[in-house]
Amino acid sequence: MRDATEARYPALPDNHAVRAVVQRVSRASVSVEGEVVGSCGRGLLVLVGVGHDDTDATARRLAEKLARLRIFENDAGRFARSLLDVGGEALVVSQFTLLADTRKGTRPSFSDAARPEVAEPLIATVVEALRAHGVPVETGVFGARMHVELVNDGPVTLIVDL
């Protein structure tokens, strides 16, 4: 049986590359030049890397997955509640290095990452789609050198590939 996300969005091509590292947090913040530009309380820190073939549909599908991903515990201690269920927040930070290819040599290749003019609007689509689900979202600054601080709750960290 297909989940609700798969039912809403068509199958993606095999060569897509969007990747998110999702951390369940008690709190998180991102700073640029010593100034906090985004933060969240209980919820998710989402680091997102966009590939060449990703589209608005990919971005919306990622947002749907993030909003409904059941990684918060219920009263029995099972992962049964989503960001929407717990009324959590999200901090979304663009991170092209998630698409690094480290298979050859010792210097990572970033050739799979989308160019900034493609990636930036797709990150914005993820953010807007999360907000459309009712999730309070803050962000980092696209292309800036950022410092991310977090308190990982659990710890729980997942890699989400679509």
Q: Is 23 a catalytic residue?
A: no
Choosing from 5, 23, 58, 95, the catalytic residue is 95
Write a three-state SS string for the chain. Answer: CCCHHHHHCCCCCCCCCCEEEEEEEEEEEEEECCEEEEEECCEEEEEEECECCCCHHHHHHHHHHHHHCCCEECCCCCEEECHHHHCCEEEEEECHHHHCECCCCCCCECCCECCHHHHHHHHHHHHHHHHHCCCCEEECCCCCCEEEEEEEEEEEEEEEEC
Q: Which of 5, 23, 58, 96 is catalytic?
A: 96
Q: Which of 97, 102, 139, 142 is catalytic?
A: 97
State yes or no: is 97 an active-site residue: yes
The question of whether 55 is a catalytic residue gets the answer no
**Residues taking part in catalysis:** 95-97
